[in-house]
Chains A and B, each alone.
Chain A
Amino acid sequence: MAIIKCKNVFKDYKVGHIVVHALKDINVEFKKGEFSAIVGPSGSGKSTLLNIIGCLDKATKGEVILNDIPIKDQDKNVLADIRRDHLGFVFQTFNLIPVLTAFENVNFVLSLKKDSSAEENRKKTLKILEEVGLKGLENRRPLDLSGGQQQRVAIARALVKEPALVLADEPTANLDSHTGSEIMQLMKDLNKKKSITFIFSTHDKMVMEHARRIINLRDGMIKNGKGGK
């Protein structure tokens, strides 16, 4: 079953008087449990595609369907709810809230949903932090954690609400190769364990090696790749 379907997706940007065609007729589907990489050089459109899939940006033309919900013409509040309920994000620069502890950063996303009690949220948060290897560091603030540990908090934050899809934009770009490899292995393990779909963008060969499917983007178009449709 496809978690996300992109049909004839185009994205144009206006830079001054020049129109830049960032995506050109993208047709792609991602199934539940996939661990996929969107790869390509800088400016190939991988972040743009990830943003459109993540309801952070809108396609100029074409259709994007997430969990059977067409997202193209949704109101910004509905899109916020879709992101809250169905999507998890891992950013290149971690983007944790510096005034909150690791526990509070993760728990924060659970508290946005009103369907579980504070106690349930607390248990879920502690569990996921343990799963990403941060047991004992729950009360540390981001500045007191290493880059790798911060990215683990970000992964825990993306996964704690058990989303349909986790989008990671160059998740290892700010980490050394050893830590980057550990982070990729962690995401891979969690993907396997929880059957949560992961899509990440990268141009790092080491990261690509972890992917089971690679979508190769060149000049806004899908060229070729490995695995899947």
Chain B
Amino acid sequence: MRNIIILAFKNLARHKKRTIITSVAISFGIMLLIWIHGMLKWADNESQRNLKRYEFGNFTISTKAYKEDRDSFPVDMVINGSEIQKIFRIAEKTGSYASPRTGFKSMMSYKRGFGLPYIVFAIDPEKDAQVFNIKEKIMDGQYLDKNSEGILISAHCRKELGAGLGDYLVMETRTKYDTFQALTIKVVGIYDCPDPVVNRNHLFITRNMAEKNLQLEGTAAEIAFRTKNGNNEPALSLVKESLSSAGLTGLTTETWQELGSDYLTLSQTKKGGSTMIIFFIFIIVAVGIINTMLMAVFERIREIGMLRALGVRDRDIVSSFIVEAAGIGILGSLIGLILGIGVSAYSVYHGLDFTSSFKDMDYGYRTGTIFYNEWNPEMMAMAVIFGILCSVLVSIIPARKAVKMEITDSIRYI
């Protein structure tokens, strides 16, 4: 067998250009696999982080009625002031941060422009900054303070309405008692959040202001929690127990996974997309190897016949082609690994800016338009093994073809 392996490796060097071209095709596939997988992994993890940082925290408490009708942002199915205080104590007990929020639908307009729909959240700026990261994303002006009479808008909203810092927007909405209310509010800060859902839809005012103008009367639609360890548990279980023991049976909890189930379902679908990418890369590798090995078989038919005449068994000839293909696979996979690490390293530290392509597109991920990569050593190892295995598996077809012909026909083959 040793001589067969030596022969296989010598055959690799026989057509250097062909070996290199096939290896480059494989390495390109492996590089893509490592890079795309690392980028999708980053996008998925970043989306999940952003769901917690900008939309839901680890979990929220709301009334059961609000939970059922969450999508219409009702302001009359809310948690009352005394319940809020009890929940603050529960949060303290579980070592979590809690932020009361009330979201309501509003039409925002600037000067004589048409009104555009947004969700405005009434927040307690100090508490909200403990649960959410909006404060860190202020790009112009300042974050809200407790007594602020202004509004915090997103970079997207600034662009849509054409309003800037210090401009006055008109907010049209309904109060708790369903009466129309129109307010003129000064833009005090502009944030740029990497979560496109928040960036496109959410604006923020203080709870004090909302209570004064929308008759919220110290209520909150929901209270978002951020746990100290970053995980839902054990805080969530403790909160559930405490709600029950405090007699707050009208309230319920929802985790960020439940609240973000639309994204998580989409994420599962996207994983199917990743499988398709892997499949296409398999096709690249397979076509390259099959083509090279078939060429090798056809040009060596006489040689194969001679080897069989000398007494080399068919399975050894098949093995020699498989070893040869494995050699190409190893070479291609290792080059692909190096290229993959190089491209991933650039993306990990600098990211790739897809702003011009994804600017106004809903691409499904809750990320910004600069895509980074996440290191994924398991995937790198898998990609290399995949490249070699692919090469070996697909080479079996041409290798078996090599010994199918009669020896006498092989020897005479022109």
Q: Across the interface, do A100 and B302 meet the contact criterion of CB distance under 8 Å?
A: no
A56 contact from B2, B3, B10, B407, Cβ within 8 A = B407
Q: Across the interface, do A100 and B10 meet the contact criterion of CB distance under 8 Å?
A: yes
Q: Across the interface, do A108 and B314 meet the contact criterion of CB distance under 8 Å?
A: no
User: Chain A contact residues (Cβ within 8 angstroms of B): what range?
Assistant: 20 to 34
- Kindly supply a per-residue 1/0 record for chain B positions 126-137, scoring 1 wherever the CB is within 8 Å of any chain A CB and 0 otherwise: 000000000000
Known: A76-B314, A93-B302, A99-B14. A112 touches B309 (CB 8 A): no
Q: Across the interface, do B306 and A98 meet the contact criterion of CB distance under 8 Å?
A: no
| Distance between B313 CB and nearest chain A CB, rounded to angstroms | 5
| Distance between A177 CB and nearest chain B CB, rounded to angstroms | 24
Known: A51-B408, A76-B314, A80-B314. A95 touches B7 (CB 8 A): no
State in angstroms the CA–CA spacing of A97 and B14 once bound together.
11
Asked if B247 is at the interface (CB within 8 A of a chain A CB), the reply is: no
- Kindly supply a per-residue 1/0 record for chain A positions 40-61, scoring 1 wherever the CB is within 8 Å of any chain B CB and 0 otherwise: 0000000100010010110000
**CB contact list, B283-298 vs A, under 8 A:** none
State in angstroms the CA–CA spacing of A125 and B14 once bound together.
24
Interface segment among A82-90, A179-187, A193-201, A213-221: the answer is A82-90
Q: Across the interface, do B408 and A98 meet the contact criterion of CB distance under 8 Å?
A: no
State in angstroms the CA–CA spacing of A56 and B306 once bound together.
10
Asked if B361 is at the interface (CB within 8 A of a chain A CB), the reply is: no
Residues of B in contact (CB 8 Å), total: 23
Asked if B53 is at the interface (CB within 8 A of a chain A CB), the reply is: no
**CB contact list, A203-228 vs B, under 8 A:** none
Q: Across the interface, do B302 and A95 meet the contact criterion of CB distance under 8 Å?
A: yes
Asked if A27 is at the interface (CB within 8 A of a chain B CB), the reply is: no
Asked if A67 is at the interface (CB within 8 A of a chain B CB), the reply is: no
| Distance between B327 CB and nearest chain A CB, rounded to angstroms | 13
| Distance between A89 CB and nearest chain B CB, rounded to angstroms | 5
State in angstroms the CA–CA spacing of A97 and B310 once bound together.
12
Q: Across the interface, do A97 and B303 meet the contact criterion of CB distance under 8 Å?
A: yes
Asked if A91 is at the interface (CB within 8 A of a chain B CB), the reply is: yes
State in angstroms the CA–CA spacing of A89 and B308 once bound together.
11
State in angstroms the CA–CA spacing of A111 and B313 once bound together.
13
Asked if B116 is at the interface (CB within 8 A of a chain A CB), the reply is: no
Residue of B nearest to A99 (CB): B10
Asked if B352 is at the interface (CB within 8 A of a chain A CB), the reply is: no
Known: A91-B411, A112-B311. A57 touches B3 (CB 8 A): no
- Kindly supply a per-residue 1/0 record for chain B positions 1-13, scoring 1 wherever the CB is within 8 Å of any chain A CB and 0 otherwise: 0110001001101
Q: Across the interface, do B313 and A83 meet the contact criterion of CB distance under 8 Å?
A: no
Q: Across the interface, do B408 and A56 meet the contact criterion of CB distance under 8 Å?
A: yes
A99 contact from B11, B407, B411, Cβ within 8 A = B11
Known: A95-B302, A99-B11. A111 touches B2 (CB 8 A): yes
Q: Across the interface, do A84 and B310 meet the contact criterion of CB distance under 8 Å?
A: yes
Asked if A109 is at the interface (CB within 8 A of a chain B CB), the reply is: yes
Asked if B246 is at the interface (CB within 8 A of a chain A CB), the reply is: no
Residues on B with beta carbons closer than 8 Å to the beta carbon of A83: 309-311
| Distance between B74 CB and nearest chain A CB, rounded to angstroms | 79
Asked if A144 is at the interface (CB within 8 A of a chain B CB), the reply is: no
Residues on B with beta carbons closer than 8 Å to the beta carbon of A57: 406-408
Q: Across the interface, do A80 and B313 meet the contact criterion of CB distance under 8 Å?
A: yes
B303 contact from A47, A77, A82, A95, Cβ within 8 A = A95
Residue of A nearest to B303 (CB): A97
Residue of B nearest to A167 (CB): B309
Asked if A131 is at the interface (CB within 8 A of a chain B CB), the reply is: no
Known: A80-B311, A99-B13. A91 touches B408 (CB 8 A): no
Asked if A176 is at the interface (CB within 8 A of a chain B CB), the reply is: no
Asked if B312 is at the interface (CB within 8 A of a chain A CB), the reply is: yes
Q: Which residue, B2, B13, B312, B314, has most C-beta atoms of chain A within 10 A?
A: B312
- Kindly supply a per-residue 1/0 record for chain A positions 100-142, scoring 1 wherever the CB is within 8 Å of any chain B CB and 0 otherwise: 1000000011011000000000000000000000000000000
Residue of A nearest to B307 (CB): A97
Residues on A with beta carbons closer than 8 Å to the beta carbon of B306: 89, 91, 95, 97
Residues on A with beta carbons closer than 8 Å to the beta carbon of B11: 99
Residue of B nearest to A110 (CB): B3
State in angstroms the CA–CA spacing of A47 and B407 once bound together.
13
Residue of B nearest to A48 (CB): B408
A81 contact from B311, B407, B411, Cβ within 8 A = B311
Q: Across the interface, do A100 and B14 meet the contact criterion of CB distance under 8 Å?
A: no
Residues on B with beta carbons closer than 8 Å to the beta carbon of A77: 313-314
Residues on B with beta carbons closer than 8 Å to the beta carbon of A95: 302-303, 305-306, 411
State in angstroms the CA–CA spacing of A54 and B308 once bound together.
12
Residues on A with beta carbons closer than 8 Å to the beta carbon of B3: 108, 111-112
Residue of B nearest to A93 (CB): B302
Residues on A with beta carbons closer than 8 Å to the beta carbon of B10: 99-100
State in angstroms the CA–CA spacing of A84 and B307 once bound together.
10
**CB contact list, B301-347 vs A, under 8 A:** 302-303, 305-314
State in angstroms the CA–CA spacing of A87 and B308 once bound together.
12
| Distance between A131 CB and nearest chain B CB, rounded to angstroms | 19
State in angstroms the CA–CA spacing of A81 and B407 once bound together.
15
| Distance between A84 CB and nearest chain B CB, rounded to angstroms | 2
A54 contact from B307, B309, B312, B313, Cβ within 8 A = B309
| Distance between B412 CB and nearest chain A CB, rounded to angstroms | 8
Q: Across the interface, do B13 and A112 meet the contact criterion of CB distance under 8 Å?
A: no
B contacts, CB < 8 Å to A:
2-3, 7, 10-11, 13-14, 302-303, 305-314, 406-408, 411
A contacts, CB < 8 Å to B:
47, 51, 54, 56-57, 76-77, 80-85, 87, 89, 91, 93, 95, 97-100, 108-109, 111-112, 157
6 contacts between A and B (CB under 8 A): A57-B406, A57-B408, A99-B11, A108-B310, A109-B310, A157-B310
Cβ-closest 8 pairs across A and B: A84-B311, A95-B306, A99-B10, A83-B311, A111-B3, A56-B407, A80-B313, A51-B408
Apart from the given pairs A97-B7, A99-B7, 7 other A-B contacts in the complex at a CB distance below 8 Å: A51-B408, A57-B407, A76-B314, A84-B311, A87-B311, A89-B310, A97-B303
